[in-house]
Amino acid sequence: MSAAAAARKRGRSASEPGAGAGSGKRRRKADSAGDRGKSKGGGKMNEEISSDSESESLPPRRTEEEEEEEQEETAQEKKLRLAKLYLEQLRQQEEEKAEARAFEEDQVAGRLKEDVLEQRGRLQKSVAKEIQAPAPADIRVLRGHQLSITCVVITPDDAAIFSAAKDCSIIKWSVESGRKLHVIPRAKKGAEGQPPGHSSHILCMAISSDGKYLASGDRSKLILIWEAQGCRHLCTFTGHRDAVSGLAFRRGTHQLYSTSHDRSVKVWNVAENSYVETLFGHQDAVAALDALSRECCVTAGGRDGTVRVWKIPEESQLVFYGHQGSIDSIQLINEEHMVSGADDGSVALWGLSKKRPLALQREAHGLRGEPGLEQPFWVSSVAALLNTDLVATGSHSSCVRLWQCGEGFRRLDPLCDIPLVGFINSLKFSSSGDFLVAGVGQEHRLGRWWRIKEARNSICIIPLHRTSRPAAAGS
């Protein structure tokens, strides 16, 4: 072999390791390229995984167990909310009950205070300033008697009115409809077999506080007892020696007080149909009488010029002076105070602790007559709304006058005039104070000194409207 061929052979053998190295380099490059390809592929997978992670950032899908747990938590929250609401309702109800109890306690305390003041005779509810004068068109007029009305009474439930007159009849009226419910006609003297009734002028009436009995007295010295509901005659009391001029039931009982022109005061028990006792003291014919819950009565002494308080158990009397004329009417305001009217035109307020009037209003209804010869209008009737400061007086001055009693009953202030033509022979307030009843006649109930031809013998129902509810005050 030549030297040149040997050299080429050595060159090829020497070049084979280099080629292997080059191929190794190519394999490493391929591997690195593959790795880069893998890393790129891995990058793509990482990007896909990152997109999945972004989707996982949204609320994951809840499993059934998770949903059940959430539902259980919502129910618990609802129960808690309902429990809190129920507790709040209970709290509100308890607060309302506490307020109601406090209100009731205040009401009870107020009522107890009123009862104590009433028993002591010091209760004075302020209602007079809230009374509005009624329009003449609002006054209802009931006609049925032929002669002058002498007295009226109202049933305790304010549902009916009894009126009596010089025509010797008694009529029971419905307050709501104004119709006659019953008529007790005049009885003829000496006639036998006729229905019972009065045969002379009826001067006074009284009804028991339970509305069961009606008593009426006349100039024939008789007291007739009636069943108020059906106007059935029950019995007749005799014993007075002159005309029976005043009657009053003691409140809460069937004890009846009567007075007469014979100057006496008699006590009767209507339930037992019996006479109890007689009291004397007045020096002239007694004109009127009134009573409340205590076992005592008050009388107007007519021309003897005195007002007397009769203490029945002690059989004693208190004498009061103040009027200058004949005292013809009297009414208790409460257990300790009263109002009276006289023919000298004066109206007086009295307290049982003083012998003289607490307030005296002269010329209460003005003057009448020619100049220089004026005379005061007689005060023919008085009325008082029980335990209030409201008083009404009547005369023949063509009006009924309402008055307000000042604090402590030490003042008498005029409120308003209600036009009524004729002699106002009787006045009565309803128990509720919603209306006033006036018995109007052409003549005075005790005589025939004047006659007003323009007047109508009638019963007038006068509504009393108030601006607000009355408030109680003790004096």
CATH number of domain containing 401 = 2.130.10.10
Residue 352 within a domain: yes
pLDDT of 394 higher than 50: yes
Question: DSSP states of 82-150 as a string?
Answer: HHHHHHHHHHHHHHHHHHHHHHHHHHHHHHHHHHHHHHHT-B-BB-GGGEEPPPGGG-EEE---SS-EE
Question: 50 or 318: which carries more pLDDT confidence?
Answer: 318
pLDDT tens-digit readout, 370-379: 888 899 999 9
Residue 162 within a domain: yes
Residue in 419, 444, 333, 417 with CA at minimum distance from that of residue 382: 333
pLDDT of 122 higher than 90: no
Supply the pLDDT for residue 118: 57
User: Per-residue b/e over 453-474, b at no fewer than 16 CB within 10 Å?
Assistant: eebbbbbbbbebeeeeebebee
Rounded to whole angstroms, the Cα distance separating 301 from 284 reads 7
Burial class (CB in 10 A: 0-12, 13-18, 19+), 52: exposed
pLDDT of 161 higher than 50: yes
Q: Please give the residue range of the domain that contains residue 332.
A: 146-466
Supply the pLDDT for residue 121: 56
Rounded to whole angstroms, the Cα distance separating 463 from 454 reads 23
pLDDT of 45 higher than 50: no
When mean pLDDT is compared over 41-45, 190-194, 412-416, the highest value belongs to 412-416
pLDDT of 283 higher than 80: yes
Residue 125 within a domain: no
pLDDT tens-digit readout, 430-448: 999 999 999 999 999 988 8
Residue in 321, 342, 341, 323 with CA at minimum distance from that of residue 331: 341
User: Per-residue b/e over 265-288, b at no fewer than 16 CB within 10 Å?
Assistant: bbbbebeeeeeeeebebbeebbbb
pLDDT band at 424 (very low <50, low <70, confident <90, very high): very high
Query: Do 205 and 219 form a contact (C-beta atoms < 8 A)?
Result: no
Residue 286 within a domain: yes
What token pair was written down for 26?
């190519």
pLDDT band at 18 (very low <50, low <70, confident <90, very high): very low
What token pair was written down for 433?
């104070």
pTM recorded for the entire structure: 0.74
pLDDT tens-digit readout, 310-343: 999 998 999 999 999 999 999 999 999 999 999 9
Residue 444 within a domain: yes
**Rounded (10°) CA dihedral 89, 95, 101, 107:** -120
Domain count, the chain: 1
Taking the CA of residue 295 as centre, how many other CA atoms within 13 Å lie in the half-sphere pointing to its CB?
Answer: 8
Sequence letter at residue 97? K
Question: 235 or 15: which carries more pLDDT confidence?
Answer: 235
Supply the pLDDT for residue 229: 94
Residue 74 within a domain: no
Rounded to whole angstroms, the Cα distance separating 399 from 402 reads 10
Residue 380 within a domain: yes
Query: Do 168 and 201 form a contact (C-beta atoms < 8 A)?
Result: yes
Residue 279 within a domain: yes
Give percent above pLDDT 70 in the chain.
79
For range 212-227, the mean pLDDT: 96
Give percent above pLDDT 90 in the chain.
64
pLDDT of 205 higher than 80: yes
Supply the pLDDT for residue 125: 85
In sequence order, the 6+-apart residues with CB closer than 8 A to the CB of 435 are: 158, 175, 429, 461, 462, 463, 464
Comparing 41-45, 159-163, 204-208, which segment has the lowest mean pLDDT? Answer: 41-45
